Amino acid sequence: MDEDVKEQLLQRLRAERDIRTSGLRHSQAQDLCRERFGFSLRTGASTIKNGGKGVFLSGHCPESTILTLYPGSVYNVEKLTSLVPGAGFDDDLQPELPSFMFQNHYLLNMGPSATLDAPAGILIDGSMHSPSSQLLLELAQRESSRHGASVVDVSWISHNPSNLTQMNRITAPLEVARNTDETESEFTFPSSMALGSLINHSYHLEERSCRFQCFLLSDEEYLDLIPSINVSGLPPTPRVVVCVLATTCISTEEGQEMELFTDYGQDPLSLGIDLGYAGRQTFD
């Protein structure tokens, strides 16, 4: 990982730690981000017709600023058909893809990794509704029981009601303030460092303001703040971290905000050679 980018990532994670340990409300968390980094993020209805949710930035950030992270379960593409439940071969002995990949528009392929023995690429499923999110929660529950502490950020899955019971089991050892109407619980809003999967695609080059870049993180101190976790076909560490970086200087007027857009490139459901935006390189 580039040292400048790594230090920037660690600064953002330290701020996230402060937010959690202080029990800040959503508005207070945004104020802290603006104070330390010059900008804040929120989610809301996209400006794109039928675009669902989008991510909006207010404030100022220079080019190559880490805006947020892309959450989800991380797979080794080459080993999907042999290691993922639901995968196999059809009557013509052609690989059948696992069920979580069908009609899933939250798949992101970050290219090959020699370090992780993944020449076909690393695939991240950022859907909170797919079987991958359940797998992530099961792994998080198992690992949190083993280590006595959380090992992955699951706040981004909180908007799927079917996941709440399992999330509560994962976070049972954590002290979460829930005493007053003015104090929001940990899962009232997702971490600002887990919003990458809600950034929409734009077909207009001039609207694209961010890109994805993968890194490998071994610092155990911060793994519980990372919203992605290595699953089938990958070792538990180093953890694959997908950063969302600003491709240009972004600045808004006081009281204004701008929706973030990116280029997801080819349709990820095609499982072509290049899943994700065009021109992505090996991230080792």
**Three-state DSSP class for 200?**
strand
Does the pLDDT value for residue 210 go beyond 70? yes
Tens of pLDDT, residues 102-152: 777 888 888 788 878 887 788 899 998 888 888 889 888 888 888 788 889
**pLDDT given for residue 7 in this prediction:** 92
Residues 6+ apart with CB under 8 A from 6: 215
Within 171-242, residue ranges assigned H as helices are: none
The CATH code that applies to domain 3-264 is 2.170.270.10
| Domain locations in the chain as residue ranges | 3-264
| pTM reported for the whole predicted model | 0.82
- CA-CA distances (angstroms) from residue 272 to 232, 265, 275, 277? 20, 11, 6, 12
Q: Measured between alpha carbons, how far is 223 from 246 in angstroms, rounded to an integer? A: 23
